Chains A and B, each alone.
Chain A
């Protein structure tokens, strides 16, 4: 079994400030890790994913995440946020490619002017 914990349910920040959204996971086997973004009343869009190789993963919209195996974490970061980054962000894991995703509880990022 695997699980995902997003430590912050809400993160308010000011525009152009840096942000980090935290994600920890537990699994008895190797996993693939994902971050998705969801805008109101819409589906999910993939921001980035870690499958193997370099632990620093760069995604769309200026986001990046770092896989830390010893701490079982996959925190999402952006050096300077925009108002348009306001959305719900979900961390997710899967055991193998194409398999079911297990999602965290989500983090609502609110960027204020």
Chain B
């Protein structure tokens, strides 16, 4: 199989604090991981593409200093929401692919972030 695990599944934090979300490929090496954001009743919007050992590529309009992405190994990528505000409250989902020729992306369970 190909399992992607996201942690935590839910997190509540205070405004101004930072939150780290982990995305792990449990049984395969993920050369590329993607981070999406999903607002209620809406589609997934790609935030950034993360390649192991290099800087993430952010989509237009996504603040790279606010959403820090680290892909330190072939099985782990992290998204840190810095100085969180209520408008950052959302559902964050990661996905991973096995390699450049792989046609399927495997998704994590998602993380519900609520900033109060």
Q: Do A and B come from one complex?
A: yes
Query: Which residue of the partner chain A has the closest CB to B98?
Result: A98
Assuming A42-B110, A51-B103, is B44 touching A90 (CB within 8 A)?
A: yes
Does A74 sit within 8 A of B, measured CB to CB?
Answer: no
Residues of B within 8 A of A51 (CB): 103
Q: Mark B68-112, 1 if CB is under 8 A from A, else 0.
A: 000000000000000000000001010101111111111111101
- Asked if A43 contacts B109 (CB within 8 A), the reply is yes
Residues of A within 8 A of B107 (CB): 36, 43-45
Does B42 sit within 8 A of A, measured CB to CB?
Answer: yes
* Residues A24-73 near B (CB distance < 8 A): 32, 36, 41-46, 49, 51
A107 to chain B: closest CB distance in Å?
Answer: 10
- Asked if A98 contacts B101 (CB within 8 A), the reply is yes
A18 to chain B: closest CB distance in Å?
Answer: 25
Q: Once A and B bind, how many residue pairs between them come within 8 Å at the CB atom?
A: 59
Q: Which of A32, A36, A105 contacts B103 (CB 8 A)?
A: A32
Q: Which of A45, A100, A102, A105 contacts B42 (CB 8 A)?
A: A105
Q: A36-B107, A41-B110, A102-B46 are in contact. List 12 more A-B contacts (CB 8 A).
A: A32-B103, A45-B107, A46-B105, A49-B103, A97-B101, A98-B101, A100-B46, A100-B49, A101-B44, A101-B105, A103-B44, A106-B43
* Residues A70-113 near B (CB distance < 8 A): 90, 97-98, 100-106
- Asked if A97 contacts B103 (CB within 8 A), the reply is yes
Assuming A32-B103, A44-B93, is B6 touching A105 (CB within 8 A)?
A: no
Majority SS of interface residues in chain A? loop
Chain A contact-residue range equals 20 to 34
A28 to chain B: closest CB distance in Å?
Answer: 19
In Å, the complex CA distance between A106 and B101 comes to 27
- Asked if A106 contacts B46 (CB within 8 A), the reply is no
In Å, the complex CA distance between A100 and B43 comes to 14
A4 to chain B: closest CB distance in Å?
Answer: 9
B23 to chain A: closest CB distance in Å?
Answer: 10
Assuming A42-B110, A43-B107, A43-B109, is B102 touching A105 (CB within 8 A)?
A: no
In Å, the complex CA distance between A102 and B102 comes to 17
